[in-house]
């Protein structure tokens, strides 16, 4: 279990009693044993391979000026996923992490990537076999709290689940604008110890 960008940003460092379950990732499978997979990614000649799902765990949501940086976010290819491989027959874009071992999450947080593509509805799903999925957290109607073109702020949620899971999936089912794609800057999964 590793250090977390959001826990440092929000708390100014590591606090006693809080442990991050997600490390700073440098690729989809580094460090081991963590593995990140995702439904789709946005790519064009300006952003080749810069919108991959593992970016939500890379600790690089913004630069020193607080501006969201290219290559620091996950951006989906389209507004909705076709449903194949989607747990609970949900519709939306997703990023999944394999923690390597089962663990319980107490606090879940994310930062939107840019102001377009801000997540309004989502589910956090948990599984131990990649077949059977449980809804760990479900939120709808998350308001857009930042003015247009500003740096998004973290959204924090308490997770009330007694079960431990090896796999967690962040499933964005609705975004707050009428065009665009899902964009997530950073995700944090914390455990109270």
Q: What is the pLDDT of residues 94-121, one digit of tens each?
A: 899 999 999 999 999 988 776 666 788 8
pLDDT tier at 154, thresholds 50, 70, 90: confident
- Exposure pattern of 18-50 as b/e (b: 16+ CB <10 Å)? bbbbbbebeebeeeeebbbbbbbbbeeeeeeeb
65-69, 158-162, 164-168, 182-186: range with highest mean pLDDT:
164-168
**What does pLDDT average to over the chain?**
76
Give me the pLDDT at residue 10, please: 44
pLDDT value at 29 more than 70 = yes
Domain encompassing residue 131: 5-26+33-192
Reference 181, options 96, 90, 66, 81; nearest CA is: 81
Q: Is the pLDDT of residue 135 over 50?
A: yes
pLDDT band at residue 2 under the 50/70/90 scheme = very low
What is the model's pTM? Answer: 0.82
Q: Report the domain count for the chain.
A: 1
What is the reported pLDDT for 151?
61
The pLDDT of residue 62 is 55
Distance CA 71, CA 116 (A): 16
pLDDT given for residue 55 in this prediction: 86
The pLDDT, as a whole number, for residue 61 is 63
| CATH label of the domain that carries residue 15 | 2.60.120.260
């Amino acid at each position: 279990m590793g250090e977390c960008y959001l826990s440092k940003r929000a708390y100014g460092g590591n606090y006693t009693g809080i442990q991050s379950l997600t490390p700073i990732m440098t690729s989809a499978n580094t460090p081991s044993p963590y593995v990140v997979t995702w439904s789709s990614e946005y790519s064009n000649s300006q952003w080749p391979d810069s919108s991959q799902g593992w970016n939500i765990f890379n600790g690089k949501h913004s630069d020193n000026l607080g501006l969201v940086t290219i290559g620091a976010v996950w951006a989906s290819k389209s507004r909705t996923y076709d449903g194949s491989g989607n747990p609970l027959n949900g519709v939306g874009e997703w990023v999944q992490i394999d923690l390597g071992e089962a663990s319980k999450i107490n606090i879940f947080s994310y930062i939107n990537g840019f102001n377009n593509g801000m997540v309004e509805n989502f589910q956090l799903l948990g599984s131990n076999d990649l077949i059977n999925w449980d809804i760990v957290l479900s939120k709808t109607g998350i308001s857009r709290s930042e003015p247009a073109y500003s740096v998004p702020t973290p959204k924090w949620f308490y997770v009330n689940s007694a079960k431990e899971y090896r796999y967690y999936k962040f499933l964005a089912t609705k975004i707050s604008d009428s065009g665009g794609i899902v964009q997530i800057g950073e995700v944090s999964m914390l455990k109270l110890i």
